[in-house]
A and B are shown apart, each in its own frame.
Chain A
Amino acid sequence: AQTVTQSQPEMSVQEAETVTLSCTYDTSESNYYLFWYKQPPSRQMILVIRQEAYKQQNATENRFSVNFQKAAKSFSLKISDSQLGDTAMYFCAFMGPGGGADGLTFGKGTHLIIQP
């Protein structure tokens, strides 16, 4: 079984700063998918970014990028030019090679607070 670890329960940064959220995982699979989901105070979970393990290039989505280190089983999320609307719970999640029919494994989450 796979596990996902987010070691930072809470982080706080000033608006416009860059922040990195860490995530490590453990799996015996060679092909899999990794996700970062965001849950704002209104509670709707939305996908931030996705990485396929067989792709060496790190995924980017506007101000969001990941540092995927497959050998180290590390998948950190970098938020550049942070904004007040980035305040949310962030969850790292693992999906096995089956494509997700059996669900995601989530970390415990990081509460990110962007201070004005």
Chain B
Amino acid sequence: LAKTTQPISMDSYEGQEVNITCSHNNIATNDYITWYQQFPSQGPRFIIQGYKTKVTNEVASLFIPADRKSSTLSLPRVSLSDTAVYYCLVDNFGNEKLTFGTGTRLTIIP
């Protein structure tokens, strides 16, 4: 049973806010939600992590509803350089490995 489900791809225009939603119906009490970004020919890069409610950093916001069965990564005012694959991960703090799905391929259109 997949731990997370996300859209395979999304397109957006420059300057728009982009929201990518991830479903994780089987999330456990001690699981954290983490998002990574990956550009072609590079390793993934950490974007944001949260447990509940809302987390914001200089790059993105992460919204997690009370039931924690989903989460939404919000990228404000995207630019062409935000074109990448975005991975939603759900992992137990202290879990020994990060489990990646196939991610969401985000394409920003000029």
Pair from one complex: no
The chain B residues found within 8 Å of chain A, CB to CB, are: none
Seen from chain A, the residues whose Cβ lies within 8 Å of a Cβ on chain B are none
